[in-house]
C-alpha cells in the first residue's frame, strides 16, 4: 500500500480560504488518488475548523477505504478530546 503524505506543497496549492474549501479539496484528493493510508496536518487550524475538517474528511475517506487509516496532526489535546468520543476507527490523532 502506498502512503500519500499531504505536505506543505499540497497544502499551499489548495484553495483553503475556509474550512469548507479545505474539506472539498481534501475530498477531491481522496477521490482522485489511491490513498488508503493518508497523513494530514491541520495543526494550523483552530479547534472548530480542525474538528470539522477531521471528522468530515475521515468519514469520506472511510467510505472509500473502510480499512484505510488517516493520521491527523493537530495542535491541541482539546481537539483530540472533542473528536475521540466519536470513535472514528480510521483515524490516528497526533498532537504537535
Q: Report pLDDT digits (tens) over 6-48.
A: 444 454 444 455 888 899 999 999 999 999 999 999 999 999 9
For residue 8, the model assigns a pLDDT of 43
Q: Which residue has the higher pLDDT, 52 or 3?
A: 52
The total number of structural domains that make up the chain: 1
Which of 69, 74, 83 has the alpha carbon at shortest distance from 35?
Answer: 69
pLDDT band at 1 (very low <50, low <70, confident <90, very high): very low
User: Residue 70 in contact with residue 45, Cβ under 8 Å?
Assistant: no
Q: What is the pLDDT of residues 48-92, one digit of tens each?
A: 999 999 999 999 999 999 999 999 999 999 999 999 999 999 999
Q: How many CB atoms lie within 10 A of CB 33?
A: 11
H or E segment and range at residue 51 = helix 47-64
Residue 34 to residue 42: CA distance in whole angstroms = 21
Residue 66 to residue 41: CA distance in whole angstroms = 21
- The boundaries of the domain holding residue 50 are 3-95
Could you tell me the CATH number of the domain that includes residue 19? 3.30.750
Distance of CA 4 to the CA centre of its chain: 12
Amino acid at each position: 500500500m502506498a502512503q500519500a503524505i499531504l505536505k506543505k506543497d499540497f497544502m499551499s496549492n489548495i484553495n483553503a480560504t475556509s474550512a469548507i474549501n479545505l474539506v472539498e479539496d481534501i475530498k477531491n484528493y481522496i477521490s482522485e488518488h489511491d490513498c488508503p493510508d493518508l497523513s494530514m496536518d491541520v495543526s494550523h487550524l483552530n479547534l472548530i475548523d480542525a474538528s470539522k475538517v477531521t471528522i468530515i474528511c475521515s468519514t469520506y475517506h472511510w467510505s472509500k477505504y473502510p480499512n484505510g487509516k488517516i493520521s491527523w496532526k493537530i495542535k491541541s489535546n482539546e481537539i483530540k478530546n472533542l473528536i475521540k468520543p466519536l470513535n472514528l476507527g480510521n483515524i490516528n490523532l497526533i498532537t504537535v
